[in-house]
Amino acid sequence: MTKENTKIEDKNNDLMNTLKSNEDLKKVLKIALKTTEGLETSVLPKISDALKNLILEYRKITSKNTQTDESLKAVQTKALREHAYSLVDYNRQRDGVNTSFETLVGRAIKAGIYSADHPNEMQIDTKTSQIFVMSKIATPFIVEKLEGQKTNAVKKENTSEKLVPVHTGTIDKVYRTKYAVPTRAKRTPQNDVEKMSFNKVAELFFKDFNKAIDYAVKKDVRYFDMVDEKTHNFLSNISALFNSKAYQEFRNFSLDYKVGIDGELEKISNKKSA
């Protein structure tokens, strides 16, 4: 990030912190942070509504400004998550991970963004703690049962635009219909070995290596069913790797970083010993 972009981001953060909508958002986030267990039904709509109001207030204040990528990012998923965490001083590295709270906030952000962008398709009722979604979006197809027929059910397209109450889990599915959700692409495995995880390959190697060593110690002829000169060449290369600087970097990477809740690389503050 350039120095100019950093200044713009800091300016956006300062603006976000001055919005009046932060008061209601901070209030419900504090409740969720302290007693998250079982609160999705009652608290999530309130957080979603507070986030929606925050987004709309930010857009209203900045509506006359030139829209840039940096200004738009201020009310996107990652920035909103960081803002919500900062409002209640939630630090997952310092305090430990509160999975329930993070899931609650993540889902509320999706509902907040969606309801701000598409108010005709999603509405939030904080009095009854319910989220309403247009029927045909929440349930694109209706399954109709056909009694007495071999094909006892048929799917029909749902055309109803009526707003219906939905379970909180439906928010994730509805959000994906409008917004890109980042996923890590996986290459199709070409053979049985590639289909194994690296973890499984390491486990099998350790098991077979111990077996081969045991055969050698006991002078067992089955050793030669497992090991030949080519095998020794591979083992020599593996041994060289274990004693290399590259392996140390390989190990340190797993101790210094992890995958964050947003799927991005995250630095670990409390480093474990190797």
Residue 184 pLDDT: 56
- pLDDT band with cut points at 50, 70 and 90 for residue 228: confident
- pLDDT band with cut points at 50, 70 and 90 for residue 188: low
Strand partners, 122: 133
Least confident piece of the model among 39-43, 86-90, 153-157: 39-43
Residue 273 pLDDT: 47
Residue 53 has pLDDT above 50, yes or no: yes
Residue 202 has pLDDT above 70, yes or no: yes
- Rounded Cα distance between 22 and 16, Å, is 8
Task: Determine the length of the chain.
Answer: 274
CA 235 to chain centre: 39
Residue 37 pLDDT: 56
Residues 46-72 have a mean pLDDT of 86
Residue 193 has pLDDT above 90, yes or no: no
Residue 186 pLDDT: 57
